Amino acid sequence: MYKYLAVAAVMATISSPALANDGQNMDDKAMKKAEECLKEADTNKDNILSKEEFTAYTDRMFTEADTDSNGSLLKTEIVAQKKKEIEKWHAAKKDEKTK
Ligand SMILES: [Ca+2]
Ligand SMILES: [Ca+2]
């Protein structure tokens, strides 16, 4: 069950309207999100996301979000995780602008 939630969380991250609705081209946004996902999940750096890498990535996301370590995610834990992701995204975007 939790894997489905984790996969849903990943897909929501990849296609988050909050992140994709700032006036830039949707294709560019989707490409950036795919690149970010690959950067974090493609552990052998072959630029391909295997099912094992994707599963390991969602497991890491789940573990990070499950702050009380009870093996399930409350809405508040998911919201807190999404906030962290949005902050991380904004920080990365800010870094890009200063380069
Ligand atoms: Ca790979
Ligand atoms: Ca929990």
User: In a structure prediction context, what are the per-residue pLDDT tens digits for the chain, which is 99 residues long?
Assistant: 555 555 555 555 555 555 545 566 889 888 988 898 899 999 999 999 999 999 999 999 999 999 999 999 999 999 999 999 899 888 887 887 887
**Å from CA of 28 to ligand 2 middle:** 34
Calpha distance 99→1 (Å, rounded): 42
The answer to whether 60 touches 81, Cβ cutoff 8 Å, is no
In terms of residue numbers, what domain contains 94?
Answer: 2-98
Host H or E run for residue 4: helix 2-14
Calpha distance 82→88 (Å, rounded): 10
pTM: 0.64
How many folded domains does the chain comprise?
Answer: 1
78 is written with which tokens?
């998911």
**Å from CA of 4 to ligand 1 middle:** 21
For the chain, the maximum distance between any two Cα atoms, rounded to a whole number of angstroms, is 42
The answer to whether 70 touches 2, Cβ cutoff 8 Å, is no
